[in-house]
Amino acid sequence: MTFSVSSSLDQAGWDGYANRVAFSSLYHLYGWRHVVEQTFAHRTHYLAALDDSSAVVGILPMAQLRSRLFGNMLVSLPFFNYGGICADREEVRQALLDAAIDLAIERQVDFIEIRQDDEEQAWQQGLAHKSAKVAMRRELPSSADELWKQLGSKLRNQVQRPRKEGMTAAIGGEELLDGFYHVFASNMRDLGTPVYSKAFFRNILRQFPGSTWVCSVYSGKRPVASGLLAGFRDRIEIPWASSLREFNRLSPNMLLYWRALEFACERGFRQFDFGRSTPHEGTYRFKEQWGAKPYPLNWYYWLPNGREMPQVNPRNPKYRTAIAVWQRLPVSVTRLIGPGIVKYIP
């Protein structure tokens, strides 16, 4: 059987495949194309493999990021933990990779980054590889009461502490966005990381109104911890979560994560994805205490002409000075200039 690769498949055909196959992820849905284009104005390339009968047998979503500082790249999928090639069989995956390489050569990119979370397969042979990060996930019982019993007494006490201080938790939609963004922008400044625009999160909530939520913890009427939740099939993910440092001694983040886990059980999700971490560092240990287990994130790179693998991350020594300067800026300034920088950091 032969396969053709098309860049013109419509949303209905694309999502029909993504929703049909068991091995797709949330970020294989077509709506993320709209989020990336509307928020960042990046050019996207959504490649679909078709068999002899024109049935969809594989998809590869990609966005092209082009900047003088970070380079010209094709990424599947930038800004998110997952993406990559989603296909029925090995020869289809190879056909999509070959088509992506042809596109990369045509677009004169510096590299392709493919974010997979599956085991190494034949089509990945010959590609450069990184697996420094893991996804932290825990399986969920059928009820929040059962989950509460599974947590140790120390963890339960940490959840109760902010409650004793009068803190409350709420879950909603776009009406909670302003509070989420205030906490998120403040935390990103403290970390020395450019912040996404509020429009990024607004676009996500509007594109996926039935499967994305904001979870926030309040001290009085003030949001002090907040996260964004996104669900797909039996898994729910919290890709962005933050708390205000001045309240850390009261552990509002513990109430935040408990409420998110409780909500996941209430909605019937069977797995909670705490997001990406570096093994054995602070966020890894925080997630591990909730019973999360590490799952390798395999990111693969096509590099033309023997180029070295890119190091677009905060650990790159050449960014240390910029991070230190960023941490001293007023939050209002980082909210103004951050989105113009972070749009090029995949």
The reported pLDDT for the residue numbered 285 is 95
pLDDT digits (tens, 9 = 90+) for 199-250: 999 999 999 999 999 999 999 999 999 999 999 999 999 999 999 999 999 9
The reported pLDDT for the residue numbered 319 is 61
Segment 303-332 shows an average pLDDT of: 70
Using the predicted structure, report yes or no on whether residue 310 has a pLDDT greater than 90: no
Using the predicted structure, report yes or no on whether residue 315 has a pLDDT greater than 70: no
The reported pLDDT for the residue numbered 202 is 98
Phi and psi for 109 in degrees, rounded to 5? -85, 160
- Give yes or no on whether 4-131+297-310 and 135-295 have one common fold: yes
Segment 21-29 shows an average pLDDT of: 94
Using the predicted structure, report yes or no on whether residue 52 has a pLDDT greater than 70: yes
pLDDT digits (tens, 9 = 90+) for 140-170: 999 999 999 999 999 999 999 999 999 999 9
pLDDT digits (tens, 9 = 90+) for 72-130: 999 999 999 999 999 989 999 999 999 999 999 999 999 999 998 876 676 777 888 88
The reported pLDDT for the residue numbered 318 is 58
Name the CATH code of domain 4-131+297-310 (choices 2.60.40.10, 3.90.1150.10, 3.40.50.720, 3.40.630.30). Answer: 3.40.630.30
Q: Are strands 271-277 and 235-243 parallel, antiparallel or unpaired?
A: parallel
Per the CB < 8 A criterion, the answer to whether 224 and 243 are in contact is yes
What is the pLDDT of the chain when averaged over all its residues? 92
State the fold for domain 135-295: Aminopeptidase (3.40.630)
Using the predicted structure, report yes or no on whether residue 191 has a pLDDT greater than 60: yes
pLDDT digits (tens, 9 = 90+) for 34-45: 999 999 999 999
Segment 2-20 shows an average pLDDT of: 94
Q: What angle do helix axes 153-164 and 252-266 make, rounded to 10 degrees?
A: 110
Using the predicted structure, report yes or no on whether residue 323 has a pLDDT greater than 80: no
Instruction: List the domain boundaries for the chain.
Output: 4-131+297-310, 135-295
pLDDT digits (tens, 9 = 90+) for 256-269: 999 999 999 999 99
pLDDT band, residue 58 (cuts 50/70/90)? very high
Using the predicted structure, report yes or no on whether residue 327 has a pLDDT greater than 80: no
Greatest mean pLDDT among 186-190, 264-268, 304-308, 330-334: 264-268
* pLDDT-above-70 percentage for the chain: 94
For residue 155, count CB atoms less than 10 angstroms from its CB and return exposed for 0-12, middle for 13-18, buried for 19 or more: middle
The reported pLDDT for the residue numbered 317 is 60
